[in-house]
Homo-oligomer: A and B are copies of this chain.
Amino acid sequence: MPEYRALRQQYGMLELCQTPELAVQVTLQPVESIDVDAAILFSDLLLPLEPMGLTFDFVKGEGPQFDDPIRSAADVARLHPIDPEDALAYVLDTIRQLKTRLDVPLIGFVGAPFTLASYCIEGGPSKDFARTKAMMYAEPEAWHTLCSRLAEMAGRYLRAQIAAGVDAVQVFDSWVGQLGPADYREFALPHTRRVFEAIADLDAPSIHFGVGTAMLLEDMATAGSSVVGADWRTPLDRAWQLIGPDRGIQGNLDPTLLLGPWHRVRAAVEDVVARAAGRPGHIFNLGHGVLPMTSPEVVQRVARLVHQLTAWRSR
């Protein structure tokens, strides 16, 4: 959104996230101009890593760059537990301020252990996650220790977000689609499961999302979330079949489609809605993040179209 870009001219990514007044403003921007049914907290997956002991910065055009990535068991031992009420007070403060301003539900989020671990280990962008997987295979104990610490943090952090007022939470396992199913079950799933277990006694619905997960959806559905998100590569009806009828589903319009002409966008939105077939438990969403060159007007048209196509359900 242009309003967001204007702010990013003035402030760095971390500064925006760490200043509640600004994070509130950015969270509200799409809610005010697009007919969405929920707000998603403006924040970043990596924020909890800083108080845990890993410093990083966002390098323009390249994403996060860590000063001292985790490369050994000794590096894992450097990480320490955090109290989110203290270390991430600015996020909780943002949530509390948002709750006084929003009339739609607010979704909080955290990174899943695998995805956070991959950032910690790669230390920057990666195509193949070779260092991450090399540690998994060669130093499984260090890997599991790292993921346990991240899972513990994630559970506490989500509890704190829910206590501060978020109405639902999302666990982003963005890069887990790098794993085949056997590796997923051994190295990622047990830790993600602990995150959902940590909030199981609370009343907040949870969403579990990853990219490139066609072969993982069945296993992801066992991690404990109320809803599983799918990217655009798996047709929604097929994805729902894979995760089973007991879970809700979120997805899954290809975000690049929003760069195309409206008649194509419309047909694709209709297709997603048709595949959901009116079953309760579908959260319409993109299959991954909005691309920077997307026109906010198109996103607004999509939101209106979805409401139109599903209006009979809310009547």
The interface of chain A, by Cβ under 8 A from chain B, is 128-130, 133-134, 136-138, 177, 179-183, 212, 214-215, 232-235, 238, 254-257, 259-261, 264, 271, 288, 291, 293
Contacts and interface: CB of A to CB of B under 8 A. Distances in A.
B215 A260 contact: no
A254 B180 contact: yes
Contacts of A259: 130, 133-134, 137-138
13 contacts: A128-B255, A134-B256, A137-B256, A137-B259, A137-B260, A137-B264, A138-B260, A177-B212, A181-B233, A183-B254, A212-B212, A212-B233, A214-B215
Contact of A293 (B130, B234, B238): B130
A233 B177 contact: yes
Given A133-B257, A182-B271, 8 more contacts: A137-B260, A137-B264, A138-B260, A138-B261, A180-B233, A180-B234, A181-B235, A212-B212
Nearest to A184: B233
A235 B215 CA distance: 9
Contacts of A137: 256-257, 259-261, 264
A107 to B, nearest CB: 23
Contacts of A138: 259-261
A279 to B, nearest CB: 20
A103 to B, nearest CB: 33
A181 to B, nearest CB: 6
Contacts of A128: 255-256, 288, 291
Nearest to A260: B137
A5 to B, nearest CB: 17
B232 A180 contact: yes
B256 A133 contact: yes
A159 to B, nearest CB: 33
Contacts of A136: 260
Contacts of A293: 130
Contacts of A179: 233
Contacts of A254: 133, 180, 183
Contacts of A261: 137-138
Nearest to A291: B130
Nearest to A136: B260
Contacts of A234: 180, 214-215
